[in-house]
Amino acid sequence: MAGQATWRFLKYWLATFVLLLAGLMLTNLWLDPLYLYHYENVPRSASGFEREFKPWHYKQLKDPEYVIIGNSRTDYGLDLGHLGEVKGYNFSVPGAGMTELRRMFEHVVDNSQPSTVFLVVENFCDGGVARKPVHLSGHILQDLRSWFYRINYLISSQTLRDGLGALGKKQSAYYDRYGRRLAFMYINDTVSERMERREAARVKINERAAESRRPSTALCRTSSLQQIINTSYDQGIDLKLIINPMHLRYLEIDHQFMLAERKLTELKVHLVKAVADVADRRSLEPVPIFDFQLVNSYTTEYFDYETVEDLRYWSESSHYTKAMGDLMLDWIYASEPQRDAAFAALLTPDTVELHVEKQWQLFLDWRTTNPRVVEEIAEKYQTPYMSRLALAPSGAK
């Protein structure tokens, strides 16, 4: 008799637990603060969780034609809608480096067969994983892991707290259904406030890099890029490699830590060689490389720490606007005679050496004609260049 009573008690509590768990899961499914289950416009409250919701949103698309894979610059700056009525997705996440971008690419080809993929970054060397991409699929173990985290999200008390916290708050769309961010992340700040925030962050990154920097001759490994290219060849995907533009103010910060020259010259040459090597091994045409990191009227659009009004081509010195992104897409799809050679360049083994030499000289010329910009950055952040100025002979720069 006691055994039967104990069994009834256990069944009662087991049933209660199951009902409570089911209630929690249904409530979290309804609230869904990170939009893992709701495939629609995403509000600002889910910003910072692009690695969570974008993989699942992409899975729901039916055969997208165009896919952008990139970081925070393309997240807002590139708009596939500019190409017309096309089916596509902006699979960009802030802070993504090449190793993570390779996993994102694998997720894309595992779930669809796009005709064109734009791979858009500043540095194609391996590395740069910001967070473990647990929601990305690929092989069977990765698929199981992604579903585990998706189900765990439904039984999490944190999901419930976040969902209840956002309940009743009116929020406008921050990401559209196709993955593009609709507003810049610091929309309520002035240009100068955004600029100070981003440039200060860049200084800290460079300070850490300077402390642990390997020799300037350290190898740039491109195994992730080569895997992406080989898969593109195998799958018949039109892969386009794009080097993001950055304002010269931002590159000046790198230069004051003696990091800019390698990025603007050596790494571009290395990229072209790596792409050509893959093509040669397969007896195929190299995938195109579009370099938008040039010195021109767009990347030198003037602003400083007093600027308040929004700019045409820059949200601040690190991130370009949709207006710039639209020009980039126009250039890619324009015929050769219509392309403005001052705006971008198509890099090839025959042209890259002369190209980087010319652009490096243009950058040095810009520094010479803009000493105020150079010095205000040095003084504001007390960069190593400031120390070199103090040691230089009078009148020397």
**Cα gap 110→133, rounded to integer Å:** 15
**Cα gap 368→90, rounded to integer Å:** 38
User: Which is nearest to 56 in space by CA: 177, 232, 181, 164?
Assistant: 177
Give the pLDDT score at 218.
60
Give the pLDDT score at 367.
95
- In sequence order, which residues have a C-beta less than 8 Å from that of residue 391 and are 6 or more positions away? none
SS3 168: coil
Q: Where are the domains of the chain?
A: 37-149+168-391
Report, in angstroms and rounded to the nearest whole number, the Rg of the chain calculated over CA atoms.
Answer: 24
CATH of 37-149+168-391, one of 3.40.640.10, 3.40.50.1110, 3.20.20.140, 3.40.50.12280: 3.40.50.1110
Give the pLDDT score at 216.
46
Give the pLDDT score at 20.
94
Give the pLDDT score at 146.
92
Give the pLDDT score at 6.
78
Residue 263: phi and psi, rounded to 5, are: -65, -35
Read off the tokens for 364.
């040095």
Give the pLDDT score at 388.
57
End-to-end CA distance of the chain: 95
Give the pLDDT score at 129.
55
Residue 371 to residues 249, 365, 397, Cα–Cα distance (Å): 12, 10, 9
**Cα gap 152→61, rounded to integer Å:** 23
Q: How many CA atoms lie within 13 A of 378 on its CB side?
A: 19
SS (H, E, C) 64-119: CCEEEEECHHHHHHCCHHHHCCCCEEEEECCCCCHHHHHHHHHHHHHHCCCCEEEE
Give the pLDDT score at 191.
85
User: Which is nearest to 187 in space by CA: 171, 168, 204, 174?
Assistant: 174
Q: What is the pLDDT along the chain (397 residues), one digit of tens a residue?
A: 566 777 787 888 889 999 999 999 999 999 999 999 999 899 998 988 999 999 999 999 888 999 999 999 999 999 999 998 889 999 999 989 999 999 999 999 999 989 999 999 888 998 765 567 788 988 888 899 999 999 999 999 999 999 998 887 778 889 999 999 998 888 788 888 888 888 888 988 888 877 765 544 467 899 999 999 999 999 999 999 999 999 999 999 999 988 888 889 999 999 999 999 999 999 999 999 999 999 999 999 998 888 888 899 999 999 999 999 999 999 999 998 899 999 999 999 999 999 999 999 999 999 999 999 999 899 888 887 665 554 444 444 5
The answer to whether residues 257 and 210 touch, using CB atoms and an 8 Å cutoff, is yes
Give the pLDDT score at 391.
45
The answer to whether residues 109 and 63 touch, using CB atoms and an 8 Å cutoff, is no
The answer to whether residues 111 and 358 touch, using CB atoms and an 8 Å cutoff, is no
Residues in the chain: 397
| 138-146 own/partner pairs: CB under 8 Å, 24+ apart | 138/103, 138/106, 138/107, 138/110, 146/55
Give the pLDDT score at 10.
83
Q: In what order do the strands lie in the sheet with 289-291?
A: 88-92, 66-70, 116-121, 238-243, 289-291, 345-347
Give the pLDDT score at 387.
59
